[in-house]
Structure 1
Amino acid sequence: MKKTIADALARKGYEALTPVQQAVTQPELEGRDLLVSAQTGSGKTIGFGLAIAPTLLGDDDTLGASGAPLALVIAPTRELAMQVKRELGWLYADAGAFLASCVGGMDMRDERRALARGSHIVVATPGRLRDHIMRGSIDLTQVRAVVLDEADEMLDLGFREDLEFILDETPSGRQTLLFSATVPGAIAKLAQSYQRDAERVSTVSEQTQHADIDYRAMMVAARDGENAIINVLRYYEAPNAIVFCNTRAMVSRLTTRLSNRGFSVVALSGELTQSERSNALQAMRDGRARVCVATDVAARGIDLPNLDLVVHAELPNSHETLLHRSGRTGRAGRKGVSALVVVPSSRKKAERILKFAKLSADWVSAPSADDVNERDQVRMLSAEDWQTDITESESATVDQLVEKFTPQQIAAAYLRQYKKRYSAPEELGAVQIEKPKPRAEFGPSVWFSLSEGRNQSASPRHLLPMVCKAGKITKDDIGAIRIADDLSYVEIREAAVEGFLTAIGPD
């Protein structure tokens, strides 16, 4: 490792690298294109900073005079881009790096002036970087390394065309790093098109999906969804919590409800200006607010300290979104809770999303009013107030209270004052919880093969209706579906085989 980089890490108190940082800095990977599976909070920003250092610095410990950028780092949101810029700023400080940013919501003229002055590393969001390229205000001819941070989120947000345009404008001999929490087919195709002999990197901590997060699926009656959210927030009393909704309307409604109930809450949704957004995030960081209600798009890339609780007020539409939402907590060794609020009609959807995400959740009731009150009592009795010595300034008042009131009166007054600080929990209706039943034995069956597989983008969702329609059978007649590289295998109930063969014919 270069001395300037090592010194910067030492000043920040780094005694050991995280697994992903160790993986991408192996000597045999120096200068190689990398496709890295890395969760938010795994130290990936410093990881790719270390991975591109040999490419940028070469044989030297410091960078030369700044001019056209040597590296591009592209992130899905302005918040993440600015966070990356801060991290790389201290990492490359001793190397003499000048960094510039190109992000939506900022003054483009200031960015043009910064680019004209020269920079070694440019951190950008896709849309704004494309604007600069088309206006001729950035020179990409000297780029040696490109990093796509949270590449899957950028594709989810519709930036594929922008990313392809940007990559096509950079030199073909560049080092390209793709960092992504998940690696769906779209990411694999992007890697295949724009990387050269890329090394796939996945660390042990990412293979055990979100090991520091406790997933809890909470069944509630349909009318109790919002009441359950209030109780979950009250039960955990996390230093910071984020509540995810699927629509702006739900964000607005839930924010108003929580505010009326006394929660210190902010909202994040698409219609906010950059200033309003920054103020909301700052309120969470400095403790003025403890609950953030947000849509998925608005919360992309945000990083909040002490975020111990994620609540899914509405179920996400995909398992990737579930992982992105939940990945906001359980970071850097801290434990976190991801609570899914599930009404009876959405149970199967919740089970399906958890299964596709390869996650196991505890199916439990949402905290009742009694549960919240019991937890409050535990918190109250374990408060530091009971262990703190009485100060000289407090002594006279304490003596006066003891002389004037009975212990019961003092305790009752303390209890009332304690309860005033918190919103009262809600009474929830009873919900019968049934554990998922294991699938019954399929019985005697025959396996058939189909001449398309993973390489032809085959999937159970695509094959199931096709086989049912062609063979005139129902989905109940189909057992397992196995997808191989160029073949797929379908299990069909023995009793339905004769009719199936008749329907599809000899060919």
Structure 2
Amino acid sequence: MIRTPVLGETMTEMTIPAPLQAALAGKGYDSLTAVQTAMLAPELAGRDALVSAQTGSGKTVAFGLAIGPDLMEGDVLPPSDLPLALAIAPTRELALQVARELEWLYAGTGAQIATCVGGMDYRNERRALQRGAQIVVGTPGRLRDHIERGSLDMTALRAAVLDEADEMLDLGFREDLEFILGSAPAERRTLMFSATVPPAIEALARDFQRDALRIAAMGEARQHGDISYRAYSVTARDREPAIFNLLRLHDAQTAIIFCKTRANVNHLLARMSNRGFKVVALSGELSQSERNHALQALRDGRARVCIATDVAARGIDLPGLELVIHADLPTNPDTLLHRSGRTGRAGAKGVSALIVPAADHRRAQSILKRAQVVAEWGNAPSADEVRAEDDRRMLEHPALRAEAGEEAELAGKLLAELSPEQVAAAFIRLWREGRPAPEELMEPQAARVREPAAPREPREFGESVWFSLSVGHTGRAEPRWLLPKICDAGGIGRESIGAIRIRHEESFVQVAADVADRFGAEAAINDEITMTRLDGQPSLDAPAPRGERADRAERPARKPAPRPRDAGHEARVKSARGGWVPDDAPVPEADRPVKAWKKKEGAAAPKGKVAWAKPKPKAAAKPHRKGTRRPE
């Protein structure tokens, strides 16, 4: 018998059905988690419940223990042609995981458990339901399909469980959930589990639960206490190298990297495969068989890193997951907690690392604050730190401390032929072989303080002569356009040209005094531009008004001379605008309007006025289409 605290306050001894208690003992359970403890409270017996508990807190075992008294008669589940309990999960992986957990928990009760999930053979599921299954586990879409086809009868249902209810609403399953729960008896017991309880979950609970008890499992005030949150500041170009160094530094048994889009997943998969990481990807474009193959590669050790989108990773349970990396920042605090909850399960320690470019610092801090978690900020691990950690792991490798066994004879031969230094060097090379090389990272931009650039000193040009050019802004003059033309005209180099100033109608150029005589008093740069020598330096303090506005203001405005008008001018203008004109207005036939408003059918013209209407143009002949018969 397991001693459990009731709702975290008092200690009481509760009777767990013997088959379930034996199953827990067989799995090595000597204590229960907070949510499992809460579900065994006397106050909850037979009642509906809305339970919030973090991901990985043992919710499957919790509701398995909670519904046991509702299903069992003595120590067994009674044979039944119709399901007695229904568990609904958002994804195929989570549904299959729930079914596996319930199988070992109810192994001693004679329970038959059937699964109904998308992507599996529908006929096999229907046959399993027809044989009789006391517990059914499935996804919303496939369960609804079975109900509509008549292969799943809900009339005998005693308990319904919604696992990860918030994720099911996020995936758009509300209509399916309403249909499924609406097909079940009203007196059933309904348990809803959710990592977060947004208003949509509360509304669903009000609609489909009766007098539900709201339970927040112990320890929820401190989110994910077994997870160490870290935020790494990186430059924009070092996002991927920082991920590679993190993987190398931690050398986790299994790690998962979250990306925002499938394109990001595929890009990172290609980069990491090229560097020698054992990696698989999960995205929405994969078939179910491909997903199963990728997950199996992670479980048996053929792959150690999984790259996934948020939707594709929902419901998966990876053994030994020690590291979660957010390559793209989560969109909200709930997503951060869902992602991070993949690690730190069942008392194990885990790390959740955010890769934060300088432009995303404020958003990352806001997400962490709203999620009520505290992250340790710092720079991503450098290549030297990765190498130092590699060397430490090598020196602490158990093989170096183990006594020589059957390999002692071969070891003696090696030492006879090679020096100890050679053997040790070979061991180091073999240790490092096959491991991706660490990346050299730049110092994050936020940590660098750039000194303001000193103002540029004006160039000392020496004695010079100024010339004016007969082209300015109106001629689209630019210094880089004028400079080669002036040099070619005088046969001088660019170093003999000083300042070039462009004005509206003219420009000024500074020429070294020792070559100024080559241009004389006036020189032609080309057919349109002349260069005139000035007696002194022009006034360059302020630019002349563009377009010589001062001169223009004094000029009288030029207006076109009015055309002579005849007696019918006003009538023709009004007629051309589609208006009404006096009856006695002289409107010649040639002046009839080209376009006028069409008179409405049945509308009478105002008294003393007539309307001019535009004649309808002849309809243009439609082009003959190939393959159609031309009308006779």
Question: Structure 2 residue aligned with 1:339, among 343, 348, 353?
Answer: 353
How high is the TM-score relative to the length of structure 1?
0.83
Contact 2:329-2:354 at 8 Å conserved across structures: yes
Contact 2:17-2:75 at 8 Å conserved across structures: yes
SS at match of 2:412: helix
How many Å apart are 1:205 and its aligned residue? 2.4
SS at match of 2:228: strand
Which residue type is aligned with residue 433 of structure 2?
K
Q: In the alignment, does 2:293 pair up with 1:279?
A: yes
Question: Structure 2 residue aligned with 1:423, among 430, 436, 445?
Answer: 436
Partner of 2:207: 193
Question: Structure 2 residue aligned with 1:84, among 74, 92, 98?
Answer: 98
Contact 1:364-1:433 at 8 Å conserved across structures: no
Question: Structure 2 residue aligned with 1:380, among 369, 391, 394?
Answer: 394
Question: Structure 1 residue aligned with 2:85, among 71, 74, 78?
Answer: 71
SS at match of 2:83: coil
How many Å apart are 1:415 and its aligned residue? 1.6
SS at match of 2:313: coil
Partner of 2:223: 209
Q: In the alignment, does 2:42 pair up with 1:27?
A: yes
Contact 2:254-2:319 at 8 Å conserved across structures: yes
Partner of 1:407: 420
Distance 2:112 2:432 in 1: 53
Q: In the alignment, does 2:266 pair up with 1:255?
A: no
SS at match of 1:294: strand
Question: Structure 2 residue aligned with 1:40, among 55, 62, 66?
Answer: 55
Distance 1:14 1:404 in 2: 54
SS at match of 1:204: coil
SS at match of 2:108: coil
SS at match of 1:69: coil
How many Å apart are 1:416 and its aligned residue? 1.5
Partner of 2:310: 296
**Greater RCO (CA < 8 Å, at least 6 residues apart):** 1
When structure 1 is superposed on structure 2, of 406-415 and 30-39 the one drifting more is 406-415
Partner of 1:172: 186
Distance 1:96 1:135 in 2: 28
Question: Structure 1 residue aligned with 2:378, among 358, 361, 364?
Answer: 364
Partner of 1:354: 368
Distance 1:225 1:7 in 2: 49
Matches for 1:308-319 after TM superposition, within 5 Å: 308-319=322-333
How many Å apart are 1:17 and its aligned residue? 1.9
Matches for 1:70-149 after TM superposition, within 5 Å: 70-149=84-163
Contact 1:148-1:179 at 8 Å conserved across structures: yes
Question: Structure 2 residue aligned with 1:328, among 342, 366, 388?
Answer: 342
Structure 1: where are the runs of 5+ without partners?
A: 435-507
Distance 2:384 2:25 in 1: 49
When structure 1 is superposed on structure 2, of 300-309 and 82-91 the one drifting more is 82-91
Partner of 2:594: none
Contact 2:358-2:445 at 8 Å conserved across structures: no
Distance 1:86 1:251 in 2: 29
Distance 1:433 1:168 in 2: 55
How many Å apart are 1:433 and its aligned residue? 4.8
How many Å apart are 1:172 and its aligned residue? 1.1
How high is the TM-score relative to the length of structure 2?
0.67
How many Å apart are 1:164 and its aligned residue? 1.2
Distance 2:354 2:446 in 1: 14
More helix by share: 1
Distance 2:446 2:394 in 1: 31
Which residue type is aligned with residue 356 of structure 2?
V
Which residue type is aligned with residue 403 of structure 1?
A
Distance 2:191 2:225 in 1: 25
Question: Structure 2 residue aligned with 1:3, among 9, 14, 18?
Answer: 18
Contact 2:230-2:375 at 8 Å conserved across structures: yes
Distance 2:440 2:25 in 1: 52
Partner of 1:397: 410
Which residue type is aligned with residue 112 of structure 2?
F
Flag the 1:137–1:385 CA change in 2: closer, same or farther, 3 A.
same
| Structure number with larger C-alpha Rg | 2
Distance 1:225 1:94 in 2: 51
Distance 1:50 1:413 in 2: 56
Structure 2: where are the runs of 5+ without partners?
A: 1-15, 448-632
How many Å apart are 1:432 and its aligned residue? 4.5
Contact 1:150-1:181 at 8 Å conserved across structures: yes
SS at match of 1:205: coil
Structure 1 segments, 4+ long, off by >6 Å, are none
Contact 2:358-2:446 at 8 Å conserved across structures: no
What is the percentage of aligned positions where both structures have the same residue?
61
Contact 1:33-1:177 at 8 Å conserved across structures: yes
Deviation per CA, 1:150-181, whole angstroms, max 9, x where unpaired? 11111111111111111111111111101111
Distance 1:3 1:375 in 2: 49
Q: In the alignment, does 2:230 pair up with 1:240?
A: no
